[in-house]
Amino acid sequence: MALTSTLPPVLRESGQREVFCGLTSIVWLHRRMPDAFFLVVGSRTCAHLIQSAAGVMIFAEPRFGTAILGERDLAGLADANEELDRLVGDLLARRPEIRTLFLVGSCPSEVIKLDLAKAAERINTRMQGRVRVVNYSGSGIETTFTQGEDGALTSLVPLLPSSPDPQLLIVGTLADGVEERFLSLFARMGLETVRTLPPRQSTDLPPVGPGTRLLLAQPFVADTVRALERRGAQRISAPYPLGVEGSCAWMAAAAAAFGIDPQRVAEVLDPLAERGRRALEPLRRKLEGKRLFLLPDSQLEIPLARFLHRECGMELVEVGTPYLDRQLMAEELPLLPEGTQLSEGQDVEKQLERVRASRPDLVVCGMGLANPLEAEGFATKWSIELVFSPIHGCDQAADLAELFARPLNRRELLQWN
Amino acid sequence: MELTLWTYEGPPHVGAMRVAASMEGVHYVLHAPQGDTYADLLFTMIERRDRRPPVTYTTFQARDLGGDTAELVKRSIQQAVDRFQPEALLVGESCTAELIQDQPGSLAHGMDLGVPVVSLDLPAYSKKENWGAAETLYQLCRGLLKDLVPPPGTAKPGPERWKQENRRPRVNLLGPSLLGFRCRDDVRELRSLLADHGIDVNVVAPLGARPADLIRLPAADANLCLYPEVAGPLCSWLERNFGTPVVRTVPIGIGATAQFLRELSSLLGLEPPELREADRSSRLPWYSKSVDSTYLTGKRVFIFADATHAIAAARIASRELGFTVVGLGSYSREQAREVRAAAQELGLEALISDDYLAVEQAMADAAPELVLGTQMERHSAKRLGIPCAVISAPLHVQDVPARYAPQMGWEGANVIFDSWVHPLMMGLEEHLIGMFRHDFEFVDGHFSHLEGASAPALQLPATAAGGASEVTPLSATPEGGALRWTASGEAELSRIPFFVRGKVRRNTEAYANERGVAEITEETLYEAKAHFSR
């Protein structure tokens, strides 16, 4: 932690924020749990947001939808509750395969104080265990982008069975393939009881208790961690599993927490790390010395900056984050190079002025800003791709670096004369 | 409360953004939480715009709600005016801000901003995107023009005044906007079409217009209401207050373009257009008359789009391509009457709905061979294994092509011919495939134009795939005992060209089997032929 003091004061800004709201996380959560349905209680804007962020409409009937409030619902709250019950009844009758229903609060439902917790309780009673109904808020007045996952996971915590037995619980959605890889690596180290939250089936909830040690796969699950800690679990402090260094430290921290012989851990991890670094080498040559500006978006900015600097040699111009959670970033912040300018929150116009003034080689930003920045001559990388792609783990380190090298490669490839 | 999975239209403030982003010199301050900034990507990603839409969001948060959100609104307005120095300012709110009732429009009017301010009141819980676009365009023009409205009783200038003023006639092109279907290219096509007829373009709005251009709107001799979803209310207001006549025929397709030109010429007192102009200027009439297109006759087509494009498509499909329209509908409730009338002309009942599942069901029930729809119908059609061409918003990035691809005017008709006919099998090719369809080489492959649909007409009644597909190839020993070809039957069969012989044999055997005929003579063969050709 001592190293943190070498960072200059965090630039805190409040102005226009150009970040999705927490509803967006439904796009990956519904794929993770195919037996769950996410019902946003909100407006046409909410429906349009999820549809636009998802980008494709490939599903006949997606496992998410919006209960759109109308003028009639706003006239009286009792009416809105009845309407919601009716609509959920119809939905569950039509989709009998659904085991867990997430009622997701939105900006309008929060403002009119529609009590979704009560609604969930009411519908639960009526469903008599056939479907479990939970609720959380993905509203943009309270959450940003990836925080929606934190809300969804927190809502599941009360449903987890209790168990005092020792186990490792990985918290935060990982791509299925990446997760399997981690489980097999942990097994090789002798760590057999490893569970995940969210699980792949919404009904296959992991237990929690005093023997549970939490390992965070994603840096945006603060509320979930607090809820799990209240159930007796303890968090393992570790950097996030991005890049060779982060992934090895992450796995090693878990192994250490369970008292596994460091020698055995090294036997598993060393060949992986060596191979990962070898795969990274050509990408490092591409990225080394290139200047990087990260705009706040996915909350992955700090671990990414650490990876891109330490393993790929990039220079960090500014590392923006929607919010700075010092506790969950405790292992990451000391790994940032001296003088790294962090910024928290956003005033998008001012931040874009800093981008223009500093002329970075690559800007990581949201989809609304990417093409305008490209048109101004900046290479960009969409941050949303980082939450959809398998980027975690030693084996993925080169793939992760390649996401950032590709825009630069492309610029070198294109010729117009 | 209504369950929505996918939606055709966004909320009304997205319509307002479309107007603001289509124009130059206009800025829109939107009282909205941060999540609403997603709407920027509609423009920067789908439209591939090289700049952000001119929108400042207040992005208020829950912690602001206890305090003074009105102050936040005023600060955002002042900062937007200082930074962007717009020539006109739109001020409004999205769904959430509507609930907290800060009245951003009134706040803006109370500030000394030095620019025209138009306050937008777009009810988010009852209206939708196109309505919002139309209302914004109307309010903006009204706001800029209201002091110029001649007093009641003033003589309105006639559409032929250009003759007295010794100039060419001039018209306004109203309605083209970003996220509208092919508007960019429609404007270019119409400019050239009008120029060919000696007509000048006064103002195009909202696409590419500045506020100062809107002030010139009354100088036109006529308004062309190209996209009624966006321009309808404005055209009516200009007609009422400035006496500008409106041409409401939308020039999509050969017949509609010719009608549009006749109406416009007659209104402006110009020579009527030459009768042969369509044949000279577009390839659609000849391509549709050419022998290859015989195979398009009676193709069953299902149409669902915004009202403008649905109505136009129905006319082109039924009159200019010889298709049979088996379904017609729209999500544009505001234009439902016009869509119903168009459907009635074709002996159909229009489907007016914004529930894509109801549309998909109607599509499956209608068993079409071609779907003309939006991106939503493209996905439904793909699931049902039916070819589809996209003819209307909502858009996907692929509906904003790099090439020139208008829908309106003579070139628009060419584009329509290609883009509707290509998803169908080309005529002769289809004929041959029909002959060979039971040969094993053709089992796959000939549906490759469906882009990955695994099998044709999966969930449709068998009629959709054509009568012949009902006949399954028979095994050598048909059920019900021996099926024997007589010498005369074999002889007749041998006279049939080899490439259809297998099909004829199978069809004849199926026919014989169905009727319990044990012996196939030459007569059986011809009866079977007559049966299957019905």
Q: Do B4 and A44 touch (CB under 8 A)?
A: yes
pLDDT higher than 90, residue B470: no
User: Mean per-residue pLDDT for B382-401?
Assistant: 92
Kindly indicate the confidence band of residue B440, based on its pLDDT and cuts at 50, 70 and 90. low
The Cα–Cα gap between B327 and B138 comes to: 33
pLDDT of residue B292: 87
Q: Verify whether the Cβ–Cβ distance B94 to A45 is below 8 Å.
A: yes
Q: How many CB atoms lie within 10 A of CB B386?
A: 28
pLDDT at A231: 98
| B447 has pLDDT over 50 | no
Q: Is A62 on the interface with B (CB under 8 A)?
A: yes
Rounded Cα gap, residues B306 and B298, in angstroms: 24
Q: Mean pLDDT, to the nearest integer, of B66-81?
A: 93
Residue range(s) of every CATH 3.40.50.1980 domain in chain B? 12-147, 161-281, 287-430
Beta bridge partners of B92: B30
- Separation of alpha carbons A209 and A401, rounded Å: 37
Residue B63 exposure: Cα atoms within 13 Å on the Cβ side: 2
- A180-238 pLDDT, tens digit per residue, is 999 999 999 999 999 999 999 999 999 999 999 999 999 999 999 999 999 999 999 99
- Under the banding of pLDDT at 50, 70 and 90, the label for residue B500 is low
pLDDT, tens digit, 9 for 90 and up, residues B16-63: 999 999 999 999 999 999 999 999 999 999 999 999 999 999 999 998
Assess whether pLDDT exceeds 80 at residue B172: yes
* Interacting residues of A270 by C-beta distance below 8 A, sequence separation 6+: none
B389 burial type by CB count under 10 A (0-12 exposed, 13-18 middle, 19+ buried): buried
Residue of A nearest to B13 (CA): A45
Set of chain B residues whose Cβ sits within 8 Å of the Cβ of A84? 1
Provide the percentage of residues in chain A whose pLDDT is more than 90: 88
**Mean pLDDT, all residues of chain B:** 89
**Shortest CB distance from B34 goes to which of A19, A64, A72?**
A19
State residue B423's pLDDT score: 87
Q: Which of A18, A60, A374 sits opposite B37 (nearest CB)?
A: A18
CB-CB neighbors (< 8 A) of A349 in chain B: 79, 83
Least Cα separation, residue A224 to chain B (angstroms): 20
According to CATH, the topology of domain A22-143 is Rossmann fold (3.40.50)
For B287-430, CATH gives 3.40.50.1980
Q: What architecture is the B161-281 domain classified under in CATH?
A: 3-Layer(aba) Sandwich (3.40)
CB contact under 8 A, A371 and B50: yes
**Measured torsion, CA atoms of residues A12, A302, B51, B106, in degrees rounded to the nearest 10:** -30
Mean pLDDT of A283-296: 97
Q: Give A48's contacts in chain B (Cβ within 8 Å).
A: 7, 10-11, 14, 38-39
Domain A2-16+280-413, CATH class in plain words: alpha beta
% of chain A at pLDDT higher than 70: 97
pLDDT in tens, A93-119: 989 999 999 999 999 999 999 999 999
Domain boundaries, chain A: 2-16+280-413, 22-143, 167-266
User: Min CA distance, A290 vs chain B (Å)?
Assistant: 24
Is pLDDT at B448 greater than 50 in this prediction?
Answer: no
Q: Which helix (H) or strand (E) holds B428?
A: helix B427-436
Say what the pLDDT of residue A57 is.
Answer: 52
Comparing C-alpha atoms, which of B292, B165, B275, B175 is closest to residue B228?
B175
Q: Measured between CA atoms, how close is A9 to chain B, in angstroms?
A: 24
A-B CB pairs within 8 A amount to 187
Q: What is the pLDDT of residue A80?
A: 87
Please indicate whether, in this complex, the C-beta atoms of A45 and B11 are within 8 angstroms of each other.
yes
B210 vs B116: CA distance, rounded Å: 13
* Mutation target vs A (from B38, B99, B331, B380; most A CBs, 10 A cutoff): B38
Rounded CA-CA distance A169/B352 in Å is 51
- Is the pLDDT at B449 greater than 50? The verdict is no
Q: Has the ipTM of the complex gone over 0.85?
A: yes
Residue with tokens 């942990």: A186
State how beta strands A64-68 and B2-4 pair: antiparallel
What pLDDT is attached to residue B52? 97
CA B97 vs CA A21, B108, B442: distances in Å: 15, 15, 59
pLDDT by residue (tens digit) across A19-64? Answer: 999 999 999 999 999 999 999 999 999 999 998 887 655 566 789 9
Residue-level pLDDT at B457? 34
Q: In this model, does residue B351 exceed pLDDT 90?
A: yes
Q: Is A57 on the interface with B (CB under 8 A)?
A: yes
Active-site residue set of B:
292
- Residue A60 has a pLDDT of 64
Q: From the CA of B471, how many Å to the nearest CA of chain A?
A: 30
| pLDDT number for residue B439 | 59
| Cβ contact A195:A174 at 8 Å | no
Provide, as residue numbers in chain B, all residues whose Cβ is less than 8 Å from the Cβ of A372: 44, 49-52
* pLDDT at residue number B130: 98
Nearest-by-Cβ selection for A16 from B57, B125, B360: B57
Two tokens, residue A338: 């001296």
Residue A75: what pLDDT?
A: 79
Average pLDDT over residues B344-354: 97
**Residue A392 distance to chain B (closest CA, Å):** 26
Report pLDDT for B453: 39
Question: CB distance A43–B96 less than 8 Å?
Answer: yes
pLDDT at B434: 62
Q: pLDDT tens, A74-93?
A: 877 668 889 999 999 999 99
Residue type, B230: V
Whether A66 and B3 lie within 8 Å, measured CB to CB: yes
Percent of chain B exceeding pLDDT 70 equals 88
For the segment A334-338, the average pLDDT, to the nearest whole number, is 96
Q: Give CA separation, B438 vs A71, A404, B25, B446, B534, in Å.
A: 57, 51, 63, 12, 19
In B, minimum Cα distance to A72 occurs at: B1
Residue of A nearest to B93 (CA): A45
Would you state the pLDDT for residue B255? 98
State residue A407's pLDDT score.
97
Residue B147 has pLDDT above 60, yes or no: yes
CATH number of B471-534: 1.10.8.550
Please, which residues have CB within 8 angstroms of residue B69's CB and are 6 or more apart in sequence?
A: B31, B58, B60, B100, B102
Distance in angstroms (rounded) separating the CA atoms of residues B51 and A355: 15
Q: How far is B385 from chain A (nearest CA, A)?
A: 13
**Residue B510 confidence class, pLDDT cut points 50, 70, 90:** confident
Domain B12-147 is classified in which CATH homologous superfamily?
Answer: Nitrogenase molybdenum iron protein domain (3.40.50.1980)
Which residues of chain A make contact with B57, given a CB cutoff of 8 A?
16
Q: For residue A80, which residues of chain B lie inside 8 Å, CB to CB?
A: 1
Mean pLDDT of B89-108: 95
| Nearest CB partner across the interface for A44, out of B7, B37, B44 | B7
Please spell the DSSP secondary structure of A91-149, one letter per residue. Answer: HHHH-TT--EEEEEE-HHHHHTT--HHHHHHHHHHHHTTSSEEEEEE--TTT-BTTHHH
Answer whether CATH 3.40.50.300 is correct for domain A167-266: no
Q: Closest Cα to residue B139, out of B19, B36, B53?
A: B19
* Segment 126-145 of chain A within 8 Å of chain B by CB: 139-142, 144
The stretch A279-296 carries a mean pLDDT of 97
Categorize the per-residue pLDDT at A2 as very low, low, confident or very high, splitting at 50, 70 and 90: very low
**Tens digits of per-residue pLDDT, B280-294?**
999 999 999 999 899
How far lies A260's CA from each of A166, A194, B240, in Å? 13, 14, 84
By Cβ distance, the residue of B1, B36, B50 closest to A375 is B50
